[in-house]
């Protein structure tokens, strides 16, 4: 079974400066993305969903622009093709909105489920930030 790369863009009426901590800090991510998030070290977070723990390492980071978490694989043979989530933010000055591009590379291949999942998560983020 192959992994699937899901990519979707969302618009939020909020500044990048206000939004970025929701993608780059444990407390921000816990507000909308996971049930619980703990910082292991500055580059490693523990994400908790459905009583399961997943360790994500920051492998790419541009302050105020993007962040990419690569998940530590459960099986050593998956190291070459690790699952990841990437968030890219782009501010449009004309509309005063930020576009969030989500890339979710994982074993989940049901596009309808992924759409529901991310639409729900981003809805929670919008409610949290008021955008």
Architecture of the domain made up of 4-129: 2-Layer Sandwich (3.30)
pLDDT > 70 in the chain, percent: 95
The residue among 115, 81, 104, 118 whose CA lies nearest residue 5 is 104
Residue 95's SS3 state is: coil
Of 1-5, 15-19, 54-58, 102-106, give the lowest mean pLDDT range: 1-5
How far is the C-alpha of 93 from the C-alpha of 130, rounded, in Å? 18
For residue 4, pLDDT beyond 90: yes
pLDDT digits (tens, 9 = 90+) for 110-127: 999 999 999 999 999 999
What does the domain layout of the chain look like in residue ranges? Answer: 4-129
pLDDT given for residue 73 in this prediction: 83
Query: What pLDDT shows up at residue 56?
Result: 96
The pLDDT of residue 62: 96
Residue 96's pLDDT band (boundaries 50, 70, 90)? confident
* CB-CB neighbours of 98 under 10 Å: 22
From residue 52, alpha-carbon distances to 36, 42, 62, 108, 119 in Å are 10, 21, 29, 16, 22
Q: Specify the pLDDT at position 35.
A: 95
- Per the prediction, the chain carries an average pLDDT of 93
Torsion 21-110-53-84 (CA) sign = negative
């Amino acid at each position: 079974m192959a992994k699937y790369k899901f990519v979707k863009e969302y618009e939020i009426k909020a500044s990048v400066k206000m939004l970025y901590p929701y993608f780059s800090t444990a407390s921000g991510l816990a507000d909308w993305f996971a049930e619980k998030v703990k910082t292991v070290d500055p580059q490693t977070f523990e994400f908790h969903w459905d009583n399961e723990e997943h360790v994500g390492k920051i492998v790419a980071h541009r302050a105020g622009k993007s962040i990419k978490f690569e998940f530590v694989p459960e099986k050593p043979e998956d190291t070459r093709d690790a699952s990841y989530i990437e968030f890219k933010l782009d501010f449009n000055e004309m509309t005063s909105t930020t576009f969030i591009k989500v890339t979710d590379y994982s074993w989940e291949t049901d596009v309808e489920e992924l759409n529901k999942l991310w639409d729900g998560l981003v809805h929670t983020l919008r409610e949290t930030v008021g955008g």
